[in-house]
Structure 1
């Protein structure tokens, strides 16, 4: 633990070293923690054109039309990824151009396509150029991830807006007969015709079907005088449609059945 004398000495020494005093010195000091390269936390590096970046951001903002702070942040994330992706591809182009010029000086007979292939092969064996390819894939994924997030946010907002419109229509028109389409009213389901009623057969006291009641034929012989008093035989008068019986015993038996 520092003593009281050491603490006093440290405070006195601190007064003699307070950092840069001029504006230029303060500006240089502000860049001390800046990490150069593609891992830099700052989007714009020394040599980048801020106006060009603002133009890129304005183009993406006009295309995606962010409506709130969340969508604005997503669009800016896409702009940052696109800016870094353009930078790493520009650096690849510079390295490939320099290597092609170097090979062309030593091998003038090769065609341009052969020089490009040899330059790419030569740079691919170097760790620096391979790192460029890694950063290129990284920034592409960063842009795609931000775009996917933007799509999900817009789909959620669209579903919420459609639900609000449906609730307003139901409140005005009364009843949940409105579908997701504003002008499509659900038609009532057609009424089902009633099923025909089946007449129940009479049941006997014990639950058995009642016996069929047959018409009882008359027992008057067909050749007997008609009981109406006409003087004609029964078969030629009132009994013209009566069934024939051989005798009274057969007629009595038919009535008993």
Structure 2
């Protein structure tokens, strides 16, 4: 007896698509299910944003970029999606760096309180400078965030240049 995977190609060749009205209506939107041309508002099938991030905000960014660039074909749309992903990652990088610095500033303030009893006389910029120095001396995370930001900014520039050069050829 054939396994299911062995029978699948033959079944696919014999298939004539959905028979019921509900199935036909669902398959009619197959080409417009995602992104700028979406009729249903579904999430894209790619891994952005992360599960805990705001998917609606990501979709709004994609919609705004589509309105700004008005992609005329699938290649331009792919570049707009790529630009959206890069912009989202740049924002995430800034948020991550801010969270890391805030955590280290809080730790520095706690250390000052323990040693001096209060933060009286300590300028907030000093606590920030101590936090940055501690992170630079003891962790690769700030340089890593900086390198990632530089990489993302290069990717944004290259994507924008490619998109704009395609638009000029129209």
- TM-score normalised to the size of structure 1? 0.43
Q: How does 1:16-55 map to 2 (within 5 A)?
A: 42-55=47-60
Shift of 1:139: 1.1
The alpha carbon displacement at 1:52 in A equals: 0.9
Is 1:74 aligned to residue 87 of structure 2? no
Partner of 2:127: 115
Q: Structure 1 or 2: larger helix share?
A: 2
Q: Which structure would you say has the larger RCO, counting Cα contacts within 8 Å and 6 or more residues apart?
A: 2
Tell me if 1:142 matches 2:147. Answer: no
Mapping of residues 173-188 of structure 1, within 5 Å: none
Using the alignment, how far apart are the partners of 2:106 and 2:150 within structure 1? 27
**Distance in 1 between residues matched to 2:158 and 2:123, nearest whole Å:** 40
Instruction: Say whether 1:90 aligns with 2:95.
Output: yes
SS of corresponding position for 1:66: coil
CA RMSD of aligned residues (A): 1.5
- Partners in 2 of 1:110 and 1:59 — Cα distance? 44
TM-score for both structures, normalised by structure 2: 0.64
Shift of 1:42: 2.6
Q: Is the 8 A contact 1:43 1:84 kept in 2?
A: no
Cα separation, 1, equivalents of 2:150 and 2:55: 24
1:104–1:110: 8 Å Cα contact kept in structure 2?
no
Q: Which residue of 2 aligns with 1:58?
A: 63
- How many angstroms apart in 2 are the aligned matches of 1:42 and 1:137? 22
Q: What SS does the aligned partner of 1:95 have? A: helix
Listed as ranges, the matches of 1:233-244 within 5 Å are: none
CA distance in 1, matches of 2:62, 2:70: 11
